[in-house]
């Protein structure tokens, strides 16, 4: 029997008339008949390293990660009868992945595979060998690769992200990931969740925009915890660093439900049963994004901000925000896992007089904070000077600029600051007053209204673009464009990088100087830097190996710390034979693979390795 109780809407009894709870709609899992059962998808283990809806770098985790003990090559089984709908192969993301469609229209997903079963692998290789392209993403439903429940469809690996493990998902017919632990699939778990820390997010009394936060450590063990007494002078939102555990494993997991109560009044409830995949990046609204980017810890919010469309929440009329009259309020936070184990954390909130009455109802909590130091005059451009001896757009055609060219000559100069108020729901251009830089915001890119400031700092051959506020989540990607000054036009090694100021690191955004223009796609608002990469990649000595399928391959160690390895344009020939060039970014290997390759007693290796900036290293070896 399936755990059908989790599929139903939560019914909350409220004893105080001033607090009401919005009833959540029923979870869309009605397709799943009680007679349906799933097979555990691998013989590697029945232990998890991650669960559903955990924090990831850019999205909510959409499934379960099953432990493979640091090894690869365990069998992966079809969890139900079905036909292969789609396959993918990549060094990033899901790596080598299988999407299987079942008779009720639902899907199962098996990711980070070392390889597919032999017939499916041969079919995938035949597609890649057409043009020796390592990447593959293809719907193959019509090919008729059908498997019974328990048939081997692949083998566990480490392709894509992370160490060896099997990532396993279940999706509805509408392709929405849902929690596999709501089916007959279970793990041994009688351990309650663990509360570690409480986040207190201070909001502006007038606008409710985030001003600051602090973190409080908890005490306690077992199923009882305490965060002590907290004094506030205005509205605050709470968030918790809480995790679950299971028996016989060191890993920590996300909890299934979170509830915040004042006496018998439910202020907030979240339940991670499913979510539309298109809203997976709303993790940045479910978690406290300022705390996440600074500490890398996922504090789950106990209130709901504007733009969060995840179908996980029930809240009171204040959306879970603590906006109380002067007084003392005992608060309980309850965390539970999918097996029903639960823990309770208590705290006491003292509300000091603020001279302002609390709101009867809150319908809008802003997503974005204000700039920390807004400039006095919008679109102010400091120290701009014109030099009529230097043309602005010597290498750009009219169609690259979505507005008129008001300024025609430009000189590299100082620090420049400007700002703009951006509104969601319409396409917007955020541009510098000299029209050298513009960012295109699609209609649905912003979660909320945003007052955004930018400082542009030019120092020699580097140009910095500092956002204020910085590190903000987006609903859709935005497009950054910059027309390089004349003295940098011919520098083909200039690239665009995202700046993580908290860890003093730069991340290449796969955007290079293209005839004097740099364009890049941004998945968050994050400060940027344009700088040069003139260092070719390092290439080590290759070696011959057999992969887990028994095929001979050539392993070539490579490394590039700036713009990364461009594996798509790199080339390896062995005894004059071309092959598919695969890439393992975790181990820093390029892999020559051709199922027809058989090594000779002496093998000549010709390697040409490129990085993202076009720097190349050419080497020859005999092995």
**Residue 564 is encoded by which pair of tokens?**
């990364």
Mean pLDDT for 479-491 is: 95
Looking at the structure, do residues 478 and 338 belong to the same domain, yes or no?
no
* Cross-strand pairs, 328: 350
User: Given this model, what pLDDT does residue 28 score?
Assistant: 62
Cα–Cα distance, 192 to 323 (Å, whole number): 30
- The answer on pLDDT for 20 being more than 60 is no
Looking at the structure, do residues 424 and 569 belong to the same domain, yes or no?
no
Q: Which of the listed residues 477, 501, 532 is the one where a domain comes to its end? A: 532
User: Given this model, what pLDDT does residue 415 score?
Assistant: 73
Strand order across the beta sheet in which 224-232 lies: 219-221, 224-232, 342-351, 327-336, 257-262, 265-271, 313-315
Looking at the structure, do residues 309 and 204 belong to the same domain, yes or no?
yes
- Whether 362 is covered by a domain: the verdict is no
Looking at the structure, do residues 422 and 562 belong to the same domain, yes or no?
no
Looking at the structure, do residues 248 and 148 belong to the same domain, yes or no?
no
Looking at the structure, do residues 407 and 500 belong to the same domain, yes or no?
yes
- Whether 188 is covered by a domain: the verdict is no
* Cross-strand pairs, 168: 64, 110
User: Given this model, what pLDDT does residue 180 score?
Assistant: 95
- Whether 569 is covered by a domain: the verdict is yes
First-to-last CA distance in the chain? 59
Cα–Cα distance, 222 to 220 (Å, whole number): 7
- Is pLDDT larger for residue 375 or for residue 244? 244
At residue 179's C-alpha, the angle toward residues 283 and 37, to 5°, is 165
Residue 469 neighbours by CB distance under 10 Å: 18
- Whether 392 is covered by a domain: the verdict is no
User: Given this model, what pLDDT does residue 26 score?
Assistant: 44
Average pLDDT, the chain: 88
Looking at the structure, do residues 198 and 347 belong to the same domain, yes or no?
yes
Cβ atoms 236, 202 nearer than 8 A:
yes
Cα–Cα distance, 78 to 154 (Å, whole number): 9
Question: Parallel, antiparallel, or unpaired for β 224-232 and 342-351?
Answer: parallel
CATH of residue 565: 2.60.40.1220
Looking at the structure, do residues 469 and 546 belong to the same domain, yes or no?
no
- Is pLDDT larger for residue 415 or for residue 257? 257
Highest mean pLDDT among 28-42, 53-67, 79-93, 359-373: 79-93
Contacts 24+ apart (CB under 8 A), 570-578: 570/607, 570/608, 570/609, 570/610, 571/606, 571/607, 571/608, 572/605, 572/606, 572/607, 572/608, 573/605, 573/606, 574/599, 574/603, 574/604, 574/605, 575/600, 575/603, 575/604, 576/604, 578/132
User: Given this model, what pLDDT does residue 383 score?
Assistant: 37
Mean pLDDT for 593-609 is: 97
Range of the domain at 602: 538-622
Mean pLDDT for 561-571 is: 96
- Whether 382 is covered by a domain: the verdict is no
Cα–Cα distance, 140 to 14 (Å, whole number): 52
- The answer on pLDDT for 248 being more than 60 is yes
User: Given this model, what pLDDT does residue 372 score?
Assistant: 80
User: Given this model, what pLDDT does residue 188 score?
Assistant: 93
Q: Which of the listed residues 532, 552, 568 is the one where a domain comes to its end? A: 532
- Is pLDDT larger for residue 1 or for residue 480? 480
The domain tally of the chain equals 4
User: Given this model, what pLDDT does residue 102 score?
Assistant: 97
DSSP state of 152: E
DSSP, collapsed to helix, strand or coil, labels residue 615 as coil
Q: Which pTM value belongs to this model?
A: 0.88
Report residue 45: phi and psi, to 5°.
Answer: -175, 170
Residue 503: which pLDDT band, with cuts at 50, 70 and 90?
Answer: confident
User: Given this model, what pLDDT does residue 33 score?
Assistant: 79
CATH of residue 49: 2.70.70.10
Looking at the structure, do residues 433 and 319 belong to the same domain, yes or no?
no
Cβ atoms 179, 338 nearer than 8 A:
yes
- List pLDDT tens digits, range 185-197: 999 999 999 999 9
Residue 414: which pLDDT band, with cuts at 50, 70 and 90?
Answer: low
Q: Which of the listed residues 482, 509, 532 is the one where a domain comes to its end? A: 532
- List pLDDT tens digits, range 65-90: 999 999 999 999 999 999 999 999 99
* Nearest of 305, 222, 255, 312 to residue 28 by alpha carbon: 312
Cβ atoms 128, 89 nearer than 8 A:
yes
- The proportion of the chain whose per-residue pLDDT surpasses 70, expressed as a percent, equals 89
- The answer on pLDDT for 17 being more than 70 is no
For residue 126, what are the contacts with CB-CB under 8 A and spacing of at least 6? none
Cβ atoms 208, 366 nearer than 8 A:
yes
Mean pLDDT for 130-137 is: 97
For residue 504, what are the contacts with CB-CB under 8 A and spacing of at least 6? none
CATH of residue 482: 2.60.220.30
User: Given this model, what pLDDT does residue 374 score?
Assistant: 57
Mean pLDDT for 478-496 is: 95
Mean pLDDT for 469-483 is: 95
- Whether 609 is covered by a domain: the verdict is yes
DSSP, collapsed to helix, strand or coil, labels residue 1 as coil
- List pLDDT tens digits, range 290-344: 999 899 899 999 999 999 999 999 999 999 999 999 999 999 999 999 999 999 9
* Nearest of 297, 291, 67, 46 to residue 162 by alpha carbon: 67
- The answer on pLDDT for 22 being more than 50 is no
For residue 67, what are the contacts with CB-CB under 8 A and spacing of at least 6? 44, 45, 47, 48, 49, 165, 249, 251
- Whether 30 is covered by a domain: the verdict is no
Mean pLDDT for 134-148 is: 97
User: Given this model, what pLDDT does residue 115 score?
Assistant: 98
For 526-562, give the DSSP string. --EEEEE--PPPEE---EEEE-TTS-EEEEEEEE-SS
- The answer on pLDDT for 8 being more than 80 is no
- The answer on pLDDT for 524 being more than 60 is yes
- The answer on pLDDT for 148 being more than 80 is yes
DSSP, collapsed to helix, strand or coil, labels residue 449 as coil
Looking at the structure, do residues 199 and 158 belong to the same domain, yes or no?
no
Q: Which helix (H) or strand (E) holds 169?
A: strand 165-171
Cβ atoms 532, 491 nearer than 8 A:
yes
Cα–Cα distance, 117 to 363 (Å, whole number): 52
The burial of 262, by beta-carbon neighbours within 10 Å (0-12 exposed, 13-18 middle, 19 or more buried), is given as middle
Residue 480: which pLDDT band, with cuts at 50, 70 and 90?
Answer: very high
Least-confidence region, from 249-253, 446-450, 565-569: 249-253
Looking at the structure, do residues 66 and 164 belong to the same domain, yes or no?
yes
- List pLDDT tens digits, range 198-208: 999 999 999 99
Question: Parallel, antiparallel, or unpaired for β 219-221 and 177-178?
Answer: unpaired
Residue 603 neighbours by CB distance under 10 Å: 17
User: Given this model, what pLDDT does residue 416 score?
Assistant: 85
Mean pLDDT for 545-552 is: 96
For residue 17, what are the contacts with CB-CB under 8 A and spacing of at least 6? none
For 274-325, give the DSSP string. B--GGGGGGHHHHBTHHHHHHH----EESS--TT---TTEEE-TTTT-B---
- Whether 19 is covered by a domain: the verdict is no
Looking at the structure, do residues 490 and 614 belong to the same domain, yes or no?
no
- List pLDDT tens digits, range 274-293: 999 899 999 999 999 999 98
User: Given this model, what pLDDT does residue 426 score?
Assistant: 93
């Amino acid at each position: 029997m399936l755990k059908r109780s989790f599929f139903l809407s939560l019914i909350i009894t409220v004893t105080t008339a001033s607090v009401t709870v919005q009833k959540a709609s029923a979870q869309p899992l009605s397709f799943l008949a009680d007679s349906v059962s799933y097979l555990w998808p691998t013989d590697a283990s029945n232990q998890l390293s991650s669960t559903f809806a955990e924090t990831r770098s850019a999205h909510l985790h959409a499934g379960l990660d099953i432990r493979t003990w640091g090894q690869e090559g365990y069998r992966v089984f079809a969890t139900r009868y079905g036909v292969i709908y789609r396959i993918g192969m990549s060094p990033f993301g899901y790596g080598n992945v299988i999407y299987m469609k079942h008779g009720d229209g639902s899907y199962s997903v098996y990711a980070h595979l070392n390889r597919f079963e032999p017939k499916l692998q041969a079919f995938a290789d035949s597609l890649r060998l057409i043009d020796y392209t390592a990447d593959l993403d293809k719907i193959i439903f019509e090919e008729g690769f059908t498997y019974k429940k328990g048939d081997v469809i692949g083998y566990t690996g480490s392709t894509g992200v992370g160490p060896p493990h099997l990532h396993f998902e279940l999706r509805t017919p509408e392709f929405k990931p849902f929690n596999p632990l709501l089916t007959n699939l279970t793990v041994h778990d009688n351990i309650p969740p663990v509360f570690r820390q409480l986040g207190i997010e201070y909001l502006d009394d007038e606008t409710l925009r985030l001003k600051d936060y602090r973190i409080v450590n908890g005490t306690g063990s077992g199923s009882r915890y305490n965060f002590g007494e907290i004094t506030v002078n205005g509205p605050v939102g709470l968030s918790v660093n809480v995790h679950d555990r299971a028996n016989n494993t060191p890993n920590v997991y996300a909890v299934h439900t979170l509830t915040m109560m004042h006496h018998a009044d439910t202020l907030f409830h979240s339940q991670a049963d499913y979510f539309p995949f298109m809203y997976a990046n709303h993790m940045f609204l479910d978690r406290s994004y300022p705390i996440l980017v600074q500490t890398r810890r996922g504090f789950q919010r106990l209130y709901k901000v504007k733009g969060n469309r995840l179908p996980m929440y029930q809240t009171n009329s204040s959306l879970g925000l603590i906006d109380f009259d002067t007084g003392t309020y005992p608060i309980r936070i309850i965390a539970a896992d999918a097996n029903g184990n639960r823990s309770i954390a208590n705290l006491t909130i003292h509300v000091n007089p603020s001279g302002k009455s609390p709101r009867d109802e809150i319908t809008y909590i802003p997503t974005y904070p204000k700039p920390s130091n807004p400039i006095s005059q919008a679109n102010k451009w400091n120290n701009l000077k014109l030099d009529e001896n230097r043309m602005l757009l010597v290498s750009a055609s009219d169609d690259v600029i979505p507005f008129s060219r008001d300024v025609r000559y430009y000189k590299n100069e100082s620090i420049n600051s400007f700002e703009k108020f951006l509104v969601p729901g319409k396409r917007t251009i955020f541009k510098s007053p000299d029209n050298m830089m513009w960012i295109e915001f699609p209609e649905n890119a912003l979660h909320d209204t945003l007052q955004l400031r930018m400082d542009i700092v030019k120092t020699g051959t580097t140009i910095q673009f500092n956002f204020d506020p910085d590190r903000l989540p987006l609903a859709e990607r935005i497009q950054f464009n910059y027309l390089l000054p004349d003295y940098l036009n011919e520098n083909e090694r200039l690239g665009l990088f995202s700046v993580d100021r908290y860890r003093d690191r730069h991340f290449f955004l796969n955007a290079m100087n293209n005839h004097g223009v740099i364009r890049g796609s941004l998945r968050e608002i994050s400060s940027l830097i344009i700088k040069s990469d003139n260092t070719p990649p390092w290439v080590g000595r290759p070696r011959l190996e057999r992969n887990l399928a028994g095929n001979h391959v050539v392993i070539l160690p490579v490394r590039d710390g700036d713009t990364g390895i461009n594996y798509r344009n790199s080339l390896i020939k062995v005894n004059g034979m071309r092959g598919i060039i695969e890439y393992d970014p975790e181990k820093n290997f390029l892999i020559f693979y051709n199922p027809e390759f058989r090594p000779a007693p002496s093998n000549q290796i010709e390697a040409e390795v490129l990085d993202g900036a076009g720097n190349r290293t050419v080497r020859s070896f005999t092995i």
